[in-house]
Amino acid sequence: MAENIMKITNLSSSYGNIKALKNIDIEINKGEIVSLLGANGAGKSTLMKSILGMVHIDEGSILYKGQELVGKKSHEIVPMGISLVPEGRKIFIELSVEKNLEIGTFFRKRPPERDKELLDMVYKVFPRLYERRNQLGGTLSGGEQQMLAIARALMSEPVLLMLDEPSLGLAPKIVGELFGIIKQLREENMTVLLVEQNATAALAIADRAYVLENGRITLSGAAREMLTNPEIKRMYLGG
């Protein structure tokens, strides 16, 4: 039996009177890549923000390794091992690549030797960032900035890494490279929650997927089966 990392039950979230999530049930097991599909405004980002305690939750439960997250604040949740790479790569453009990475360790205090090990690990996964470690963040290409945003999240040693639209605005070749890295992270036993407009690319690396429509889960299953599901093909795969 796969070890459960997250169990979301009957979750509803809102912004004022806008109900953004309605009675959502989601499970994520250790070492899985779980993809969330859905049109603009379906509630994908809201789900990630709800997990991080950044949105008002009306009802429901978010169990993370058996612990209830609902009611906790972001600054309590992040150190528990959950990291979000938000849409639109929020890196520090005035700081060097390496300083950007060091900031990733701030929320999880540990011995300095461990930080050094993590930096080495991250540079191994992203050799291009190593080559550019002294360059200012703002001078990196779009793809490199996205890699830096992910690398910085890895510096906090997340158990669950949440990626919001990592391929946004990237050339297809870079998307391929990035998704190769995400797959590689899974092989190292990281658990990934992936939101993507590029559903074909997401389903190709995901184990399972959920479809969100108007704040509700309308379909879920193995990613492989979703790729051949006629409804999914029509709605999300351009077929």
By the 10 Å C-beta count (0-12 exposed, 13-18 middle, 19+ buried), 223 is classed as buried
Q: What's the closest the beta carbon of residue 144 comes to ligand ATP, in angstroms?
A: 23
The single residue among 3, 17, 40, 113 that binds ligand ATP, judged by CB under 6 A, is: 40
Q: Does 90 help bind ligand ATP (rule: CB under 6 A)?
A: no
Q: Does 89 help bind ligand ATP (rule: CB under 6 A)?
A: no
| Contact window for ligand ATP (CB under 6 A) among 43-51, 78-86, 104-112, 202-210 | 43-51
How many CB atoms are closer than 10 A to CB 27? 17
| Contact window for ligand ATP (CB under 6 A) among 40-48, 66-74, 113-121, 231-239 | 40-48
Of residues 44-63, those binding ligand ATP (CB under 6 A): 44-46
Relative orientation angle of helices 172-187 and 112-125, to the nearest 10 degrees: 130
By the 10 Å C-beta count (0-12 exposed, 13-18 middle, 19+ buried), 7 is classed as middle
Of residues 153-212, those binding ligand ATP (CB under 6 A): none
The single residue among 8, 26, 28, 38 that binds ligand ATP, judged by CB under 6 A, is: 38
Write out the H or E segment, with its range, that includes residue 91: none
Of residues 9-28, those binding ligand ATP (CB under 6 A): 15, 18, 20
Nearer to ligand ATP, 15 or 106 (CB): 15
Q: What's the closest the beta carbon of residue 18 comes to ligand ATP, in angstroms?
A: 5
Nearest Cα residue to 78 out of 158, 7, 11, 190: 158
How many CB atoms are closer than 10 A to CB 233? 15
How many CB atoms are closer than 10 A to CB 85? 23
Nearest Cα residue to 165 out of 152, 179, 151: 179
Binding site for ligand ATP (CB under 6 A): 15, 18, 20, 38, 40-46
